[in-house]
Structure 1
Amino acid sequence: MHITRRTLAAVFAAATGIAAATLPTTALAQTKIKMVLNWKYQGPQAWFFIAQDKGYFKAEGLDVEIDQGEGSSASITKVTSGAYQAGFGDLNALIDIAAKRPADAPVGVYMLYNTPPFTIVVKKDSPIKTPKDLEGKTVGGPANDGALKLFPAFAKVAKVDASKVNITNMTPNLREQMLLRGQVDAIFGYVNTVYFSAKLVGIDPERDLRFINYGDYGMDLYSNAIVFSRSFVKDNPKAVQGFLKAVNRAINESLANPEMAMDHVMKREPLLKREVEKERLVATLKQEMNHPEIAKIGLGDVDGERLKRAIAMVVEANGLPRTPTADEVFDRSFLPARAERASKF
């Protein structure tokens, strides 16, 4: 006869007078979550690793597997496909899917990058001074880069004829070198991604680069958020809530102790340049995650009216078939209490 673990528990309980229901059932209680990151291992992912390493996920009954990503837009696509239940990716890519395939689109549940990080980078001595100067030039970026995906919207807002801009793709590790070698006139990226990737290959971004930031031209967009598949949110609301509780706790610890946070990043990839990644982590906290609105609503939440404007901007610029509601795109009901979420960095 095959004796199961549950049968053994019942036998033990009968012999000892302990109810079987009170015995540990950790193996049965853990909810599995596969999560995809926005990119390869970097400093500003520390909170996910802390929550995993310190058992914060486990304490919430979660068995979380974390994979590296291939771009903030690609993370949204992977959650949409069902390959992952959770992701860290660009909310604007989510808006695009929600407009086209609302039943399949993931939903944002915790906003991290509340200040638009999207940029076009040129060499310091480039004749490109304004977005209009991009006409007739070649701009490169990885195919799944968030700034590249949003370029049609940026071009419309900044009054650039996008048809006159030649866009080319390259692998992420060649982006900064191709710009410096003159193989492209400009590159797409996130400010801190390009800034610190440049430092890693010996480029001084302060001396050698200039940044044309989308946010300076009226594109007051949200960016990377924690997202979950719509079906997982419906079927596992407690798991989503527990996931955010664990990550929020780890974010607070990262704020208090960036060195500790970096220990968990380096554990994933010892070959990273620790000091550069620590700088990237701190810069991301101070710039991309520190919009003035969090003094009122706290990190993790969104301003409803601002999100509506952002949705409308993305829909109009890309000619999308419908305008998703703010509630379709972001669900704040799983957030930790306001007092538990950071207000400023």
Structure 2
Amino acid sequence: MKRTLFLAAMAALVSATPALADMVNIRFTLGWKTQGSDAPFLLAAQKGYFAEEGLNVTIDQGEGSAATVTRIMGGAYDAGFGDINAIIQNAALRPDEAPVMVYQLWNRPPFAIVTPNDRGITTPADFEGRTLGGAQGTPTTRLFPVFAALNGIDLEAVEQQNMAPNLQEPMMIRGEIDGAFVFNITSWFNLIANRQDPENDYTWFLFEDYGMDLYSNGMMVSRRLLAENPDAVAGLVRAVNRATLEVARDQEAAMDAIMAFDNLVDRDIEHARLTFSLTNLMNAPEVAEIGMGDLVDDRLARSIAIVAEGYDLERLPEPSEIFDRAFLPPVAERLFEVVLN
């Protein structure tokens, strides 16, 4: 009887999944090394949601959320998890090659300036006469002049030091710099790793709170895939949307998928990072209205203008060059509700 049930279950699985020969191969790059915030993609792979859409998705670790764009433009990958602002930069110069965002995940940007409370920096004006450090070329560092202009900061009164990302928190802790240009989802956990209390002992100047109305990471696809196989793009979006809503409801299952992909990660830390991404980057008021995966075109247009100013872009891409919502399921199928566990 058990054998009969097993064979019946296998037959049902085979019938529900397209034959391997009919599967579309998709090469997918994450934004960085395996992290809790990668859960939607890894859960979709583990639970077979990609396979149910006729997709054979190979997932690799990344080299940075901006590098996702260049990896796709170079032809090594068909899709990936990366920063929409990097798409804007590349679309301004190479509009026919830059990838397109098709599912927005981080409605709120992680860009921030973090300072220890004991430095007495409580307003943006207090950055004057201080030293801030950051990695050259990152969005937080490159966009600081725009932040300064919007908030009345004399840029020449702020000393800026370039440094490797892994030196920012240690140098700040030692008092060698007064603050750092960071991604909050990264720096928060770097501080914890350095035995700091990021919630109580540090002040976070979030760009979104100071006139920098930016989006951030989501799923993007190559223009080639978009043109040659729109059905595959639609399948990717459906699978990731399905997994994203499950991740919001069940972080333990999400972490199981992450550990199955990379058993070397620290489960507790990455569980906390996943919770951070859900509550601080994804669960925005705007998402309650438009659903997960979408964005507001007027806000994207403002974002493009901010990025163009920060990166001295000569051409402002149109929002339609950056984001394509044509593959999104109906809003009712993208309603996002976080239940922490």
- Whether 2:64 is the aligned partner of 1:87: answer no
- How far, CA to CA, are the matches of 2:228 and 2:165 in structure 1? 38
In the other structure, the counterpart of 1:169 is: 163
- Whether 2:178 is the aligned partner of 1:185: answer yes
In the other structure, the counterpart of 2:299 is: 306
In the other structure, the counterpart of 2:37 is: 44
Q: Secondary structure at the match of 1:276?
A: helix
Q: How does 1:27-106 map to 2 (within 5 A)?
A: 27-106=20-99
In the other structure, the counterpart of 2:315 is: 322
Alignment gaps of 5+ in structure 2: 1-14
Change in Cα spacing, 1:90 to 1:149, as seen in structure 2 (3 Å) is: farther
- In the TM superposition, residue 45 of structure 1 has moved relative to its aligned partner by 0.8
- In the TM superposition, residue 294 of structure 1 has moved relative to its aligned partner by 1.5
Q: Secondary structure at the match of 1:122?
A: strand
- How far, CA to CA, are the matches of 2:97 and 2:123 in structure 1? 38
| CA RMSD, 1 decimal | 2.2
Instruction: Map Cα deviations across residues 200-247 of structure 1 (whole Å, 9 max, x no partner).
Output: 332211233221111111111111111111122111111111011111
- In the TM superposition, residue 326 of structure 1 has moved relative to its aligned partner by 0.9
- In the TM superposition, residue 288 of structure 1 has moved relative to its aligned partner by 0.6
- TM-score, normalising length from structure 2? 0.87
- How far, CA to CA, are the matches of 1:133 and 1:210 in structure 2? 12
- How far, CA to CA, are the matches of 1:322 and 1:44 in structure 2? 32
In the other structure, the counterpart of 1:250 is: 243
In the other structure, the counterpart of 2:4 is: none
Q: How does 1:115-154 map to 2 (within 5 A)?
A: 115-135=108-128, 137-143=130-136, 145-154=138-147
* Preserved CA contact (<8 Å) 2:134 2:141: yes
Q: Secondary structure at the match of 1:332?
A: coil
Number of paired residues? 322
Which of 337, 341, 344 is the aligned partner of 2:334? Answer: 341
Which amino acid is 2:189 matched to? Answer: F
Which amino acid is 1:153 matched to? Answer: V
Q: Secondary structure at the match of 1:110?
A: strand
* Preserved CA contact (<8 Å) 1:110 1:332: yes
Query: Which range moved further: 176-185 or 143-152?
Result: 143-152
Q: Secondary structure at the match of 1:336?
A: coil
- How far, CA to CA, are the matches of 1:234 and 1:329 in structure 2? 15
Q: Percent identity?
A: 45
Change in Cα spacing, 1:269 to 1:175, as seen in structure 2 (3 Å) is: farther
In the other structure, the counterpart of 2:271 is: 278
Change in Cα spacing, 1:281 to 1:103, as seen in structure 2 (3 Å) is: same
* Preserved CA contact (<8 Å) 1:140 1:170: no
Instruction: Map Cα deviations across residues 31-59 of structure 1 (whole Å, 9 max, x no partner).
Output: 22222212211111111111111111111
- Whether 2:215 is the aligned partner of 1:222: answer yes
- In the TM superposition, residue 334 of structure 1 has moved relative to its aligned partner by 1.0
In the other structure, the counterpart of 1:7 is: none
Which amino acid is 1:57 matched to? Answer: F
Runs of 4+ in 1 over 6 A off after TM superposition: none
Query: Which range moved further: 194-203 or 59-68?
Result: 194-203
Change in Cα spacing, 1:307 to 1:35, as seen in structure 2 (3 Å) is: same
* Preserved CA contact (<8 Å) 1:47 1:254: yes
Change in Cα spacing, 1:233 to 1:57, as seen in structure 2 (3 Å) is: same
- How far, CA to CA, are the matches of 1:188 and 1:119 in structure 2? 6
- In the TM superposition, residue 25 of structure 1 has moved relative to its aligned partner by 7.4
Which amino acid is 1:210 matched to? Answer: T
In the other structure, the counterpart of 1:213 is: 206
Which amino acid is 2:88 matched to? Answer: I
- In the TM superposition, residue 67 of structure 1 has moved relative to its aligned partner by 1.7
- How far, CA to CA, are the matches of 1:85 and 1:149 in structure 2? 28
- How far, CA to CA, are the matches of 1:123 and 1:271 in structure 2? 31
- TM-score, normalising length from structure 1? 0.86
- How far, CA to CA, are the matches of 2:90 and 2:263 in structure 1? 36
Q: Secondary structure at the match of 2:175?
A: coil
Change in Cα spacing, 1:144 to 1:62, as seen in structure 2 (3 Å) is: farther
Q: Secondary structure at the match of 2:62?
A: coil
Query: Which range moved further: 240-249 or 138-147?
Result: 138-147
